Amino acid sequence: MSIIAVFNQKGGVGKTTTALNLLAAIGQRKQRPLGIDLDPQCHLSHIFGLYPKTADDSVYSFFIRQRPLEEIAEITQSGVIVCPAHLELAKLDTLLGKGVNVVTRLRQSLHAMEAAPGPVIIDCCPLLNVLSLNAVFAADLVLVPVSADFLSLKGAEQVERALNALEPVFKRRLPRRYVLTRYDMRRRMSAAVEERMGESLRADEICVTRIRENVKLAESPSVGLDIFRHAPGSRGAHDYAALYDELLGAGLLH
């Protein structure tokens, strides 16, 4: 089992799109992944058609009542297992704080025997709070989508600094990969951001795969589908399949 936290400290960078389509790519390989939505905006949950009526039906109850994840998880129509989010997650920082026992709660649960049937993809909120810290502490890999704009890159650089600051706690360098999204080679901005990434981040931690700008990819969440079900022959499907293969080949996904 591998645990991947999809995180950037800026919204609108393709974070949920990446989580959604990695889950789908894993499912295409006949595995049953687990998606965990830790964003109070609940976008990933809603794409999968999950609208918990109460906070107790979401991962909120995992943190507040220590309800087992397997009780919260739902099998979606696409076959992916998802622990849905709820707006009440936004209150957790105030309610729980950031003590060690709090920020490691998800890690302890996922590393318990038989906690998850396959790879785990965690969709994080764009804040370094108790939710994203739980994801980072649980993760074997932090995957940082960087859309082809400088504010997105700035958010990624903030993630890099945060992960570096946590190294004394982990006693190792936490694996991370930066993936360029909404990439269009015809635009100067895409080339400029790509160049800046090479200057500010480690080359071996930047994905070779580029997620290209694609209409089908942009519209698929609005119809509640991953790109493989919505437009299997599109560039978006090709790119997310390539990202899956790259992470698998690097031993970061299993």
* Residue 115 confidence class, pLDDT cut points 50, 70, 90: low
The predicted structure's pLDDT at residue 99:
86
Residue 117 in this model has a pLDDT that exceeds 70 = no
Span 207-250, pLDDT tens digits: 999 999 999 999 999 999 999 999 999 999 999 999 999 999 99
Q: For residue 35, give both structure tokens.
A: 């998606």
Region 8-12: mean pLDDT is: 89
Query: Does residue 188 fall inside a structural domain?
Result: yes
Are 40 and 85 contacting, i.e. CB atoms less than 8 angstroms apart? yes
Query: Does residue 36 fall inside a structural domain?
Result: yes
Query: Does residue 253 fall inside a structural domain?
Result: no
Lowest mean pLDDT among 2-6, 129-133, 158-162, 184-188: 184-188
Region 43-68: mean pLDDT is: 96
Region 2-31: mean pLDDT is: 93
Region 56-80: mean pLDDT is: 93
Beta-bridge mates of residue 4: 121, 141
Query: Does residue 254 fall inside a structural domain?
Result: no
Percent of the chain with pLDDT over 90: 85
Domains in the chain, number? 1
CATH of the domain at 107: 3.40.50.300
- Separation between Cα atoms, residue 104 and residue 176, nearest integer Å: 19
Lowest mean pLDDT among 25-39, 100-114, 135-149, 207-221: 100-114
Residue whose entry in the numeric block shows the structure tokens 């994905």 = 207
- Separation between Cα atoms, residue 106 and residue 34, nearest integer Å: 13
Provide the domain limits for residue 91.
3-247
Residue whose entry in the numeric block shows the structure tokens 């076959």 = 79
Span 18-40, pLDDT tens digits: 999 999 999 988 888 999 999 99
The predicted structure's pLDDT at residue 114:
60
Region 63-83: mean pLDDT is: 92
Query: Does residue 75 fall inside a structural domain?
Result: yes
Residue 200 in this model has a pLDDT that exceeds 60 = yes
Lowest mean pLDDT among 93-102, 137-146, 232-241: 93-102
Residue 113 in this model has a pLDDT that exceeds 70 = no
Query: Does residue 45 fall inside a structural domain?
Result: yes
Region 146-159: mean pLDDT is: 93
Query: Does residue 252 fall inside a structural domain?
Result: no
pLDDT, the chain, mean? 94
User: Own/partner pairs for 204-207, CB < 8 Å, 24+ apart?
Assistant: 205/176, 205/177, 205/178, 206/177, 206/178, 206/179, 206/180, 207/177, 207/178, 207/179, 207/180, 207/243, 207/246
